[in-house]
Amino acid sequence: MKRYIYIVTMLVPAIYILSSCTHDEQTRNEPKDTSVAVSVSTARKEAGHTVKSSGEIASVETAAISTRIMGFITSIKVKPGDRVQKGQLLVTISSEDLLARRAQAQAAVSEAEAALRDAQKDYERYTELYKQQSASQKELENTTLHYEALKAKTEAARQMWNEVNAMLNYTNLKAPFAGVVTQKNLDAGSMASPGTPILVLEQTGSFCVNTSVTDADINLVNAGAQAQVVVESIRRTLTGKVSEVSPSSQMNGGRYNVKIEIPAGEKNGLRSGMYTKVSIDVSGKVDDHIVVPVAAIVTRDQLNGIYTISENKTALLRWVKLGRESGDHVEVLSGLSSDEQFIVSAEGKLYNGVPVIIK
């Protein structure tokens, strides 16, 4: 019993010493809390006078040249880059079958007109005989019905003739307006089918900008508003005017199409498809507001926040309510005060309480 008490007495201090050594070793191995270098900015109010978006230069009038009939393309008179005049012949399509149908329609018209002339003579003769009481009312009625039927038949034959002629117009495709050929999708010998574009024609000398805005901005944009258009590829800034505002976003992924007209005097150097940055003037419709970079916003569990700096020079996550997003900036409705510093970027992991050093 004494020996057991002795062993226990010696074992307890040993365990304590071993635990202390292990704790000291773990303490030495734990990384020390280091400060994170951050870049900061100051929240400031900006005048809410523009809606920003991106878009592209486009011709005001564009036509996809296609046909309503199926047939082989016999010739294409133009190539991409060619300038054409209104009414100029662009494409011809084989029309032998339509020419045969037109000949049949012409024969039908001639036959119907001959029968109508004969029926008209009978109608006029029986009308005169009826007045002289030399023909019965029944005979006059039969003659009249036959005459009216042949009039209808003749009109049907003439309309068939018109239909064939209208179809023949689609075998000789002409330019609907003066412009330049921008695309050639088929070659001579290919089969043309209804609705398939053969050429694309764009009007020259008249450009617009096609852009789109979100549902948060659409009520701020009206036709006639001034817009600034930056075309970075040619390093030009243009001034345009909103000419069209789409009332629906159903077929455009939730965004509303807006068309901006570019004055003719600023068309030099512009080409369809050029990328643009657009700022639409909505002065007087939006109050001044705080905007911050989108990159500074932190999203967690459907909540939005932004890191600020506390009095102790530590990071402090502040939950905010966001508004409209414009380009790479977003409006802050609440949670951040004007002239308050916030963290834009950090060289390490940020969390509440971590010491920070402002670069």
CATH code for 36-48+288-358? Answer: 2.40.420.20
Report the pLDDT value the prediction gives residue 26, as an integer from 0 to 100: 40
Report the pLDDT value the prediction gives residue 30, as an integer from 0 to 100: 38
- Say how many C-beta atoms besides its own lie within 10 A of residue 56's C-beta: 15
Question: Mean pLDDT per segment of 10 residues, for the chain of length 359 residues?
Answer: 48 47 42 76 74 90 90 93 93 90 92 94 91 89 93 94 90 92 93 92 88 88 92 91 92 90 85 91 70 89 90 90 79 85 90 89
Helix (H, G, I), strand (E, B) or coil at 234: coil
CA angle 266, 327, 55 (to 5 degrees): 35
Report the pLDDT value the prediction gives residue 21, as an integer from 0 to 100: 45
Query: Domain limits of the chain?
Result: 36-48+288-358, 51-60+206-281, 62-94+177-201, 96-169
Q: How confident is the model over 129-141, as pLDDT tens digits?
A: 989 888 889 998 9
Report the pLDDT value the prediction gives residue 289, as an integer from 0 to 100: 73
CA distance 170 to 120: 37
Report the pLDDT value the prediction gives residue 198, as an integer from 0 to 100: 95
Given a contact cutoff of 8 angstroms between Cβ atoms, the answer to whether 315 and 354 are in contact is yes
Superfamily name with CATH number, domain 96-169: Helix hairpin bin (1.10.287.470)
Q: What is the DSSP string of 159-219?
A: HHHHHHHHHHHTTEEE-SSSEEEEEE---TTSEE-TT--SEEEEESS-EEEEEEE-TTTGG
- Say how many C-beta atoms besides its own lie within 10 A of residue 68's C-beta: 13
CATH 2.40.50.100 corresponds to the domain 62-94+177-201: yes
Given a contact cutoff of 8 angstroms between Cβ atoms, the answer to whether 319 and 304 are in contact is yes
Q: How confident is the model over 178-199, as pLDDT tens digits?
A: 999 999 999 999 999 988 999 9
On the question of a common fold for 36-48+288-358 and 51-60+206-281, the answer reads no
Quickly tell me which residue has 């967690």 as its tokens: 300
Q: Which residues are 331's β-sheet partners?
A: 291
CA distance 203 to 272: 11
Fold of the domain built from segment(s) 51-60+206-281: Elongation Factor Tu (Ef-tu); domain 3 (2.40.30)
